[in-house]
Amino acid sequence: GQNIDQPTEMTATEGAIVQINCTYQTSGFNGLFWYQQHAGEAPTFLSYNVLDGLEEKGRFSSFLSRSKGYSYLLLKELQMKDSASYLCAVSRDNYGQNFVFGPGTRLSVLP
């Protein structure tokens, strides 16, 4: 079966660093995506990892370990606008993007 786990909720302080973990077990793997979704809005693409290691993009970084079925999204210098849900999604095959989504982590950034 397909299974992706994320913490349901996290809270952090403005200016701090937060790490959102994602573990997955899927039949097939062709990349892991992170999306940000503000309430009532479309999920927006943040990052993509297909090889092990860290991908850095500004204040956001994403890490992948394929052998461990594990990824994390690291947010630095948190801002109030970073309060949102963060979705981990695994692409299962090579010929499309049949995503399996995690339940999402709701992050609240406090002043």
Partner 1 sequence: EAGVTQFPSHSVIEKGQTVTLRCDPISGHDNLYWYRRVMGKEIKFLLHFVKESKQDESGMPNNRFLAERTGGTYSTLKVQPAELEDSGVYFCASSQEGGTSGNLLGQYFGPGTRLTVT
Chain residues binding partner 1 by CB under 8 A are 4, 30-31, 33, 35, 40-45, 48, 50, 87, 89, 91, 94-104
Are β-strands 84-91 and 3-5 bridged in parallel, bridged antiparallel, or unpaired? unpaired
Q: Closest distance between partner 1 and the C-beta of residue 76, in Å? A: 21
Residues in the chain: 111
Given the complex with partner 1, which of 41 and 77 has the nearer CB atom?
Answer: 41
Distance CA 103, CA 88 (A): 8
Burial class (CB in 10 A: 0-12, 13-18, 19+), 82: buried
Q: Closest distance between partner 1 and the C-beta of residue 15, in Å? A: 28
Given the complex with partner 1, which of 18 and 100 has the nearer CB atom?
Answer: 100
Given the complex with partner 1, which of 88 and 109 has the nearer CB atom?
Answer: 88
Q: Closest distance between partner 1 and the C-beta of residue 81, in Å? A: 18
Distance set, CA 13 to CA 16, 41, 78 (Å): 6, 23, 7
Given the complex with partner 1, which of 15 and 38 has the nearer CB atom?
Answer: 38
